[in-house]
Amino acid sequence: MPVLLIHGFPFSSEMWKAQIALLQENGFRVISYDLRGHGQSDVGDGQYTLELFVDDLIALLDYLKITKTVVCGFSMGGYVALRAIERNPERFNALILCDTTSSADSNEARLRRATSSRIS
């Protein structure tokens, strides 16, 4: 069963190095990627929405021909994971949430995120 790791804001897939190594040592296929606008991904037009991140996630699963996976989301990655499961529950076997919440950010938190610079 593949394990998909989604990083938080303002990080990249690099944050999962230790977890990837441990999971792979134990025989798991691990997928970790940079959310659009983070790490090595393209910046695009800079208009990032939760729905866009979920579209990217499902497109990645389709591209890799993964029909079901375990998904782990950290912080903002947890938002993406939760929404992906709401939209496509048949694509996931399990959910791991780390340091995240199911409630929306306050307006102040949204403004802080919007004004933060890209971290690579």
- Domain range spanning residue 30? 3-115
Task: For residue range 21-69, list pLDDT tens digits in order.
Answer: 999 999 999 999 999 999 888 887 778 899 999 999 999 999 999 999 9
Q: Considering the domain boundaries, does residue 120 fall inside one?
A: no
Q: Considering the domain boundaries, does residue 97 fall inside one?
A: yes
Indicate which CATH number applies to the domain containing 12. Answer: 3.40.50.1820
What's the pTM value of the predicted model, to 2 decimals? 0.84
Sign of CA dihedral 46, 112, 13, 94: negative
Q: Considering the domain boundaries, does residue 29 fall inside one?
A: yes
Q: Considering the domain boundaries, does residue 20 fall inside one?
A: yes
Tell me how far apart the alpha carbons of residues 118 and 92 are, in angstroms, rounded to a whole number.
30
If one counts the domains in the chain, the total is: 1
